[in-house]
Amino acid sequence: MKRIYTRTGDRGTTGIHGGSRVEKDDIRIEANGVIDELNALLGIVRSLLAPEHPFDPTLRTIQMELMVVMSRVATPC
Model confidence, pTM: 0.80
To 10 degrees, the CA torsion angle through 30, 26, 10, 66? 40
Give me the residue spans of the domains in the chain: 13-73
Residue type, 15: G
User: What superfamily does domain 13-73 belong to in CATH?
Assistant: Cobalamin adenosyltransferase-like (1.20.1200.10)
Q: pLDDT by residue (tens digit) across 6-52?
A: 666 678 888 888 888 899 999 999 999 999 999 999 999 999 999 89
State pLDDT tens for residues 53-63. 999 999 999 99
Closest among 9, 10, 8, 18 to 73, alpha carbons compared = 18
pLDDT at residue 9, as a whole number = 63
